[in-house]
Amino acid sequence: MATQLYQNDGKIQFNSATDVLDVDINDLQRTIKLAGLLHSSLELKTVLEYFLEAAKLKVNFQSAHYQNDELRTELLFSEAQKHSCSYNLTIEDQSLGEITFTAKKRFTTASLEKIENLLCHLVHPLRNSILYQKALKAAHNDALTGLKNRGALDKVLKREVDISIRHNIPLSLIVLDIDYFKSINDQYGHAAGDKVLQKLSRCIENEIRGCDILFRYGGEEFVIVLTNTDLKGAELLSERIRHRVINEDFLINNKSIPVRVSLGVAEIENNNDAEELFTKTDTALYEAKRNGRNQTVSFTKKMKMDLKNKSCQI
């Protein structure tokens, strides 16, 4: 028997001897549009916003929450309501996170079925977005410690300096270096040295505020960008970190490794650019190392004159 396709009252029907396909054209168009939108961006938040906007046309819900522990990402879209349904999203054994929908009224079986059908359109674009986020993270994060790296510092410091100058708010920098780190590697091995770097990273993270940004600059050197913080505040934090390291037990492979750090501190002044602020802080760190290590040194007017004279000689 011949197959027939025909349109009737906004629906496409497929007739054969054994099958009937009944599709709503408007629904099909919305599905095609959604698929196109979801593949038009690799930004995680944008992909989810496109999806939720389309989902609200078919399902009555008021908010959604997305969480991905691997990416340390949590996104909340509107205020949560009383009733909820949650889905752990996976594709080919890869976890894509968990998404939760909430509504003022209990979800019906039909609503849940619609959500599950819609989620089928989300998983592939979501996976692409997650892979993109991981690639970005790998480019801007240090593989050993998980901290932001030097490339990320260059961008962040320039941004924070611009904000500080524009809004006339304080900004300070700490540059920290492990004392005699080469000796630690030589005596205990490079694997132990790596663990010292990892543990030190966690120590510093536990001392700084949520708005402070920690970077591994390279080797055994770390940088902390302190937003809305003057020199005195930076000095207090620097000393708190130094004493925390002194009192921390760096027990690696059943051996207690003595770890000490030197720190340089400086604040933005006279519209310093990012390079000038870093140079000032690094100069203070050099003085801390030269003066015997295991101490905090702040950038002084004398150091400023020495830098100026050195620049003139060049």
Catalytic positions are 220
d(CA 262, CA 177): 5
Rounded to whole angstroms, the maximal C-alpha distance in the chain is: 97
d(CA 292, CA 262): 9
d(CA 178, CA 139): 25
d(CA 302, CA 263): 18
| Closest residue by Cα to residue 242 from 261, 270, 255 | 261
Length of the chain in terms of residues written: 314
d(CA 240, CA 226): 14
Beta strand 261-267 pairing with 171-178? antiparallel
Give the C-alpha distances (Å, rounded to integers) separating 214 from 41, 173, 174, 191, 199. Answer: 29, 10, 9, 22, 14
Helix-helix angle 25-38:44-55, to 10 degrees: 170
Residue 263 identity (one-letter amino acid): L
d(CA 122, CA 130): 12
Q: Is 75 exposed, middle or buried (0-12, 13-18, 19+ CB in 10 A)?
A: middle
Q: What kind and span of H or E run contains 23?
A: strand 20-24
d(CA 251, CA 124): 44
Q: H helices of the chain, where?
A: 25-38, 44-55, 109-140, 150-167, 181-188, 190-207, 231-247, 274-290, 301-313
User: Are 163 and 170 a contacting pair, CB within 8 Å?
Assistant: no
